[in-house]
Amino acid sequence: MTRAFSSAPLGRALQAAAPFVLAVAIGAIVLAATGHEPLSVYRLMIVEAFGDERRIAATLTAATPLLLTGLAAAIAFRAGIFNVGAEGCFYLGGMAAAIVGYALSDWPGALSIPLALLAASLVGGVWLIGPGLLRARFGVDEVVTTLMLNFIAIDLTSWLVNGPLLARGSANSATPPIGASAELPRLLPPSTLHLGFLISLALVIGYGFWSRISVAGFRSRLVGLNPRFSRAVGIEPMRVFLSMMVASGVIGGLAGGIHTLGLVHRFVAGFSPGYGFTGVAIALLARNSAIGVALAAILFGALSSAGANIQLFSNVPIEIVEILQGAVMIFAVAQLGFGWARRRAAA
Amino acid sequence: MIDLFLHAAILMTTPILLAAIGGLVNRIGGIVNLGLESMMLAGALVAVEVSSATGSVSLALVAAAAIGALVGLAMTLVITRLRANEIIVGLGFSVAVAGLVRFLLKSAYGVSGTYSPPGVAMLPRIDIPVLDSVPILGAVFSRQDPLTWLAWALVPVVGFALARTRWGLRLRATGAAETTVRAVGLAPLTIRDASTVFAGALAGLAGAHLSIGVVGLFNEGITGGRGFIALAAFYFGRSSPARTALGALLFGFFDAAQIRLQGHGVPAELVQTLPYIIVIVVLTGLGVADRRAARERAL
């Protein structure tokens, strides 16, 4: 339906790439102003992100949490819910998986891994029932409530990891490590790429099919485009708001759980360097499409993986990545405004 | 003991109050400012740099207000002229400016996290001769810095300006009825931009208070989410500067209290969640009240 009415694919691709291009331009100005050579820095970043198998594996490892936080944001945005709470779900899910993974250290992985991921998803989903209900019942702005819940979740997990759950004899704030059997298997040793990447990619692909061919996916898009029309044709927008909010929380929590089981193997203070917020940028850049989420997640994964390396080899601080991420967020909503979906559908 | 606590609480209130008044004015003009944190951070860094380079506190304050206003201007232009969603742009500025500040620390000063140049001139403390020796009043009023006095002076001034002046009326109209403002020949977007620049300048001063008023150096975590606490304060205060000040004072007390409570086994992390919980409670209360009012109108 969309396809028949939309402009040429090339035009759409250019439009989607515009925020990223602008962000790269801003980054180039910052680099040039601080005495770096923008072109050679960017060239080095591309090489460091995709140069060989080891580097590609590092990029995909870095993209793994972003696939799911991007998906968590996209599935909510698509239904017209502006959930920015994936960051908090990520922390809580990571903590839940660390607790279960440690408690079930003696269990076989076939049991402890699904249970840990289930716990992570549940915590994330339950965490967002509140803002979902408040939005659906009383029209309380979900952006502010979910943003506040992020800070609460970060403080809460930070209290747990510094107090009740601090690993014995650990100087820095970390829980005890999970059992070896609960670790997700590595895909390409010695690289850190783990099974979580395939799980995340499969979920994004599943979302692609769900959003395009299922009745529920169509309903949620309809509610996102026009809640009043949806109600007129017998879809209850409030129910869709609530269920998509919870689905978003489940995915955000799962993202944290996978990050614990696959990469960190415990919960540490500062568990996420803003994966939830990067997920918002990814969903905006991707315009909530599955392919877009996958591409944008790999792009941001490449940025952070290359950013860490260029800091080692070329004295360009890794924070250039944050500047690019923030700029993408800003430009992704600029010009077209927030009503882009509506306008494009009307065109 | 109680004197020390009161003094600390007032001190911690100042940056929250400054940013919250800016955010309040901005919100009345029609923009919920989630970029306050980034403007505070920029102000804190510039204040340290200028204070150390020139030795002049006034120049440092002017520079901090200017950089805050500049970040505010950039943010508001994206929102009003490129019609971007204010929430995402605000979050984007928070991410990008935090990145830029840390990038500059490493790239320009070669330090990571903390920047402590020599000879930073600190905000002066104003002694009030007789009051100084009065137990509680002395702690509250004496030995406070000029920005604290400015912040509290702004509460009635902004309240009066909003309620009783032409500019206040125009600002309120811009937030409430943009088309009406345009119909009478004013430029609502420009008025809105001015309110964001004002908020940016105050947030820049709030940052300066943290860096050259409290610690005398810059740290990348110096703002510690106070831009978002300020958001909590002006949500708590709705459209009233006095209520906003009350909210800021409450959060300032939490801030001072958590340092003391730590010694008594109350975890600081849990105290820190209180402002955020209060925002959710206030928003819920407003939502319920709105629904009830709408239902009564419908009857």
Q: How far apart are CA A266 and CA A259, in angstroms?
A: 9
pLDDT at A338: 42
Does residue A57 or residue B279 have the better pLDDT?
A57
pLDDT number for residue A8: 62
Token pair belonging to B242: 């006095």
pLDDT category at A226 given cuts 50, 70, 90 is confident
Instruction: Specify the residue for token string 């580097």.
Output: A55
- Report pLDDT for B100: 94
B299 Cβ contact list (under 8 Å, min separation 6): none
Total-model pTM: 0.85
Q: State the DSSP code for B222.
A: T
| Rounded average pLDDT over A22-32 | 92
Provide the residue count of chain B: 299
Rounded to an integer, the average pLDDT of A140-157 is 90
B6's CB contacts (< 8 A; 6+ apart) are B136, B139, B140
- Which tokens go with B192? 């809105």
- Read off the pLDDT band of B263 (50, 70, 90): low
State mean pLDDT over A73-87: 92
Determine the average pLDDT of the residues in A79-101. 93
Q: Which residue in B79, B52, B76 sits closest to B64, CA to CA?
A: B52
pLDDT at B153: 96
Q: With contact defined as beta carbons under 8 Å apart, do B75 and B54 qualify?
A: no
| Partners of residue A27 in chain B, C-beta under 8 Å | none
* Confidence (pLDDT) at B101: 94
The pLDDT of residue A225 is 86
CA dist., res. A262 & res. A300, Å (int): 19
CA dist B292 and B289 (Å) reads 5
pLDDT, averaged across chain A: 86
Measure the CA–CA gap between B168 and B174, rounded to whole angstroms: 10
Mention every residue, 6+ apart, whose C-beta is less than 8 A from residue A317: A311, B102, B103, B106, B107
Helices (H) and strands (E) in chain B, counts: 13, 2
Q: What is the percent of chain B where pLDDT is above 70? A: 99
Q: Would the CB atoms of A323 and B107 count as touching at under 8 Å?
A: no
**pLDDT by residue (tens digit) across A160-194?**
988 777 777 766 788 888 888 888 888 888 888 99
Intra-chain end-to-end CA distance of chain B, in Å = 57
What was the pLDDT predicted at B262?
67
pLDDT exceeds 50 at position A341: no
Phi-psi region of A342 (alpha: psi -120 to 50; beta: other; left: phi over 0): alpha
Could you tell me if A162 lies within 8 Å of chain B, comparing CB atoms? yes
Check pLDDT > 80 for residue B57. Answer: yes
State how far the alpha carbon of B68 is from the alpha carbons of A264, B55, B119, B149, in Å.
38, 20, 23, 20
Name the minimum distance, in Å, from the CA of A321 to any CA of chain B.
8
Contacts across the A-B interface (CB distance below 8 Å): 153
Instruction: Say if the Cβ atoms of A144 and B279 lie within 8 Å.
Output: yes
Check if A330 contacts B (Cβ < 8 Å): yes
